[in-house]
Structure 1
Amino acid sequence: MLKAHLFRIRPYEPRDLDAAARAANAACRQAYAYFGYNHPVSATRTRLTEALAEGQRCFVPEADGVVVGILTVKPAFIDRLFIAPDWQGFGFGTALIDFAKSLYPAGIELHCAQQNFGACRLYERHGFVPMIHLIYEPLGIGDVVYRWPGS
C-alpha cells in the first residue's frame, strides 16, 4: 500500500528556487537521458529565474512540506511541468495538469519531447491531443505540440 501524502499546489516563492530547480533537473535527467541531458542544477535554476522574469506564473507542488516539482505557465501554455523522479507515480503530475486546466478552462497547449514516452502517455490520458510533430536540428530531437481543447 502506498503512503498517503499531504499534498498541495501553491504559488512559487523565491525560497523555492533551489528545491524546484533540483526537482526539475532530476526530472530532466531522467526524461531526456536518451540525448545525454547532463545540465547542472545551476542551469535549471537560471532557466526558472528567466521564466519568472518574463512573467510566467509559477507554482510548486508540495508533498509533506517538500517541493517535489515545478509548474510554469504563460497564457494558455504550460511551459514547464516537472516532478522529481522519486515523487513520480503518486498522482502529482495529474494534479498539476488538472490545476493548469482550471487556470485555462478554454484550452491549453504544451510541448513534450516525443521520446518522453511517460509524459506523452500522461498528457494523452488527460485529454491532450497531439497537433504537430516538430524536429529540432541539428540534434534531431522531436517534439509533440499537444493541445487540450478545453472543457
Structure 2
Amino acid sequence: MQIRRADDDDWQEVARVFIAARAGMAYLPKLHSDADTRLFIHRVVRRSAVWLAVRGDALLGFAALEPGWLHHLYVDPAAQNAGAGSALLEKAKAELPGGFSLWTFQANLGARRFYERHGLKETRRTNGADNEEGLPDILYEWTGQAGDAH
C-alpha cells in the first residue's frame, strides 16, 4: 500500500469511496443525490490536502486535511480493517504534527474505537443541532507529537 497526494484526476474515485462508505452507515440520512455528492467531493479534492491510500490502481481510502482539521477519513468498505485507515491517520499526524480535531457521529462506534485506539481523545459531545445530518456527534482531538503517548 502506498500513501500519495491526490490530484485533480482522482476526485471521481474519491467520490466513489465516500459514497460507498457512507452507504454502509445505516444511521445516516441520505440528504444529497450522488451527483451532488460527487460535486462536493470534487470541491474537497481541489481545496483540501487530500491523501490517498492506494494499492496498485485501486483506491482503498482517503483523508482530507486542512490546518488543524481532519475533515474526512473514509475507507472503501471492501478494504476496511486492512490498514488503510491507520496509514491515512498516521499520514494526517505527520502532516499536522501540532495536532488536529475531527468530528464523528456518536452512532459510528467503529470510528470511535478506531480514533481512540490511535490516541485521539474525546473533547465534546453535541446533540447534532449544528450538523447537516442532525445527528449527535463527538469532537475528537489529537494534541500533536508532544502529546502523543506512542
When normalised by structure 2's length, the TM-score is 0.87
When normalised by structure 1's length, the TM-score is 0.86
Residue 41 (structure 2) pairs with residue 48 (structure 1): yes
Residue 134 (structure 2) pairs with residue 147 (structure 1): no
Residue 84 (structure 2) pairs with residue 92 (structure 1): yes
Aligned to 1:37: 30
User: Quick check: 2:52–2:62 contact (8 Å CA) kept in 1?
Assistant: yes
One-letter identity of the residue aligned with 2:109: F
Q: Which moved more, 1:18-27 or 1:135-144?
A: 135-144
Unmatched runs of 5 consecutive residues or more in structure 1: 1-6
CA RMSD of aligned residues (A): 1.8
User: Quick check: 1:71–1:81 contact (8 Å CA) kept in 2?
Assistant: yes
Going from structure 1 to structure 2, the CA distance change for 1:8 and 1:41 (only over 3 Å counts) comes to farther
Aligned to 1:4: none
Aligned residues: 143
Unmatched runs of 5 consecutive residues or more in structure 2: 146-150
User: Quick check: 1:73–1:79 contact (8 Å CA) kept in 2?
Assistant: yes
Give the fraction of aligned pairs with identical amino acids, expressed as a percent. 29
User: Quick check: 1:29–1:38 contact (8 Å CA) kept in 2?
Assistant: no
CA separation in 2, counterparts of 1:11 and 1:139? 29
Q: Which runs of 4+ in 1 moved over 4 A?
A: none
